[in-house]
Amino acid sequence: EARTRLGRLIQNFRPDVAHVRNIYHHLSPSILWELKAQGVPVIYHLNDFKLLCPSYNFVSHGRACECCRGGEFWRVVTEGCYHGGRGPALVLAAEAYVHKWLRTYQKCVDRFLAPSEFVRNKLVENGWNREKIDVLHHFQTLSTAAPPPAPPDAPILYFGRLSAEKGVSDLLRAMRRIS
Would residue 26 count as lying in a domain?
yes
Would residue 9 count as lying in a domain?
yes
Would residue 65 count as lying in a domain?
yes
Nearest to 51 by CA among 6, 4, 114, 131: 114
Q: What is the pLDDT of residue 32?
A: 96
Q: What is the pLDDT of residue 175?
A: 82
Q: Is the pLDDT of residue 131 over 80?
A: yes
Would residue 108 count as lying in a domain?
yes
Quote the percentage of the chain above a pLDDT of 90.
Answer: 51
Would residue 150 count as lying in a domain?
no
Would residue 126 count as lying in a domain?
yes
Q: CB under 8 Å to 8, separation ≥6 — which residues?
A: none
Q: What is the pLDDT of residue 41?
A: 98
Q: What is the pLDDT of residue 71?
A: 92
For residue 82, give its domain range.
2-135
Q: Is the pLDDT of residue 162 over 90?
A: no
Q: Is the pLDDT of residue 61 over 90?
A: no
Q: Is the pLDDT of residue 133 over 90?
A: yes
Query: Sorting pLDDT into bands at 50, 70 and 90, what band is 178?
Result: confident
What are 73-128's pLDDT values in tens digits?
999 999 888 888 889 999 999 999 999 999 999 999 999 999 999 999 999 999 99
6-22 average pLDDT score: 92
Q: CB under 8 Å to 169, separation ≥6 — which residues?
A: 62
Q: What is the pLDDT of residue 94?
A: 95
Rama region for 85: left / alpha / beta (φ>0; ψ in -120 to 50; rest): left
Q: What is the pTM of this model?
A: 0.79
Would residue 63 count as lying in a domain?
yes
What total of structural domains would you count in the chain?
1
